[in-house]
Amino acid sequence: MGEPCAPLIKWPGGKRSELPTIAPRVPDHDRYFEPFFGGGSVFFGLIDCEAWGNDLHPDLILMHELVAVQDDDFLDAIHGFLASWERSTLEQREDLYYECRSRYNAHLGTDACRAADFFVLRELAYGGMFRFNSKGEFNVPFGRAYGRNGTVATKIRRLTCPAVQAKLAHLNLSSLDFADFLGKHEFGPSDFMFVDPPYDTAFSNYVGGGFDADDQRRLAEALLGFDGLFMLVCKVTPLIEDLYFDKGLTVSEHDANYRFNIKGRFSRDTRHAMVMNY
């Protein structure tokens, strides 16, 4: 069902750097589920079976759906942006980014154009951050370092990569609250679910909407009653310890490091818990 490949976009808290830690603990399974899909690092890097991915962010899901079917309008919009980008100066590239951001925040254009704008913003926003203001507007400035390098064409080529197409052909997508996503399926012992929820910190609000302590408790209740196999990877906090430690689950901890801007000013060393019911 396709060779391992990189995620299509950057996503805050992505687990690509942790795949060497995650891979040895993935159990044998026939079906794969991911209620907080994000960039899909585990799916793209490790999974080789029929899969179901879900994320509450509709534009993230829309973009993956359009890539999966190689939607002409979406690809035309992406390649149109690339053509403008490649003939522009750094200052003009910055203008292109802000035009894209304004259009995205104003909800202008078709779904295909919005998905293309979403892709551009994810790849070119300063430090790969994903942040909204109180009005729900994406407000991350342009990452000027990206304007100087030649990676944009490479990133766009991934959208038509045969390996990506092979993976997406076996991915079923939805944009629901995680509880509604779980409620759509009946799970058994040959099903594996990877769970990577927003962190139990105030910083989790950078994705928009937040994921508060009550949401963490709802998730823990669902996982403790889950009929398949699950692996949760999450930052260790007092709440996470209270919800999952000493509950008869398999728990290990490992170091993780994330950078949230291009100069590493927000580089964070932290401990992650890996929680499994097997």
Q: CATH number of the domain at 122, please.
A: 1.10.1020.10
What distance in Å separates the CA atoms of residue 241 and residue 251, rounded to the nearest whole number? 10
Last residue of a domain, one of 160, 180, 198: 160
Straight-line distance from the first to the last Cα atom of the chain, in angstroms, rounded to the nearest whole number: 26
Question: Among residues 183, 214, 185, 180, which one has the least CA distance to residue 198?
Answer: 214
pLDDT of residue 206: 42
What distance in Å separates the CA atoms of residue 35 and residue 220, rounded to the nearest whole number? 13
Structural domains counted in the chain: 2
- The CA-atom distances, in angstroms, between 206 and each of 23, 101, 131, 175, 202 are 28, 17, 5, 18, 9
Amino acid at 228: G
Q: Are 54 and 37 in contact (CB under 8 A)?
A: yes
| Domain carrying residue 221 | 16-58+162-276
pLDDT tens digits for range 75-120 = 999 999 999 999 999 999 999 999 999 999 999 999 999 999 999 9
Query: Are 115 and 217 part of one and the same domain?
Result: no
pLDDT tens digits for range 167-225 = 999 999 999 999 999 999 999 999 999 999 987 655 444 455 578 999 999 999 999 99
Cβ count near 212 (within 10 Å)? 14
pLDDT tens digits for range 27-64 = 999 999 999 999 999 999 999 999 999 999 999 999 99
Residue position matching structure tokens 């000027």 = 144
Residue 1 placed within a domain: no
Task: Please give the model's pTM, rounded to 2 decimal places.
Answer: 0.92
* DSSP per-residue letters across 107-138: T-S-HHHHHHHHHHHHHHBGGG---B-TTS-B
Residue 263 placed within a domain: yes
Query: Are 230 and 167 part of one and the same domain?
Result: yes
Query: Are 142 and 197 part of one and the same domain?
Result: no
* DSSP per-residue letters across 13-41: T--GGGHHHHGGGPPP-SEEEESS-TT-H
Query: Are 103 and 179 part of one and the same domain?
Result: no
Residue position matching structure tokens 């490790």 = 46
Give ∠ CA 198-230-36 in degrees, rounded to 5. Answer: 30
Query: Are 156 and 166 part of one and the same domain?
Result: no
Bigger pLDDT: 264 or 169? 169
Last residue of a domain, one of 160, 183, 201: 160
Last residue of a domain, one of 128, 160, 192: 160
